[in-house]
Amino acid sequence: MFDLTGEEANKLGSILEGAYFESVDVDELTVPLGDAILEWVEIDEESPYAGVTLAESNLREETGATVIAIQRGEETIPNPGPETTIEVDDYLVTLGTREEQNRLLDLVDGTA
């Protein structure tokens, strides 16, 4: 038998359950993408890009961000081609800098 503080007991319980996660200081986090980040951008029925192919959308040229996948319900479309049509309720998985992502979000929302 041994004595544990409440925090130590919680941590031990989480480890034993397999649910223990180490917190990460995002200010000190480095990733191999440089300034690029991943975002999930939802396409709603108001979006001017619903029903448009990736080629017609010109999103990469307009923003600099790249659509690397589309989540469509339970289906994931990796590396969607230029002929892939963007549909209502799709989530575009995009890669780009914060500035590029903000431009893309403004275009998709129809506020740019």
pTM assigned to the model: 0.70
Mean pLDDT of 15-31: 57
Confidence tier at 75 by pLDDT (50, 70, 90): very high
Quick one: pLDDT at residue 68?
93
Report the percent of the chain where pLDDT is more than 90: 62
> Is 77 or 30 the better-scoring residue by pLDDT?
77
Q: Are 35 and 98 in contact (CB under 8 A)?
A: yes
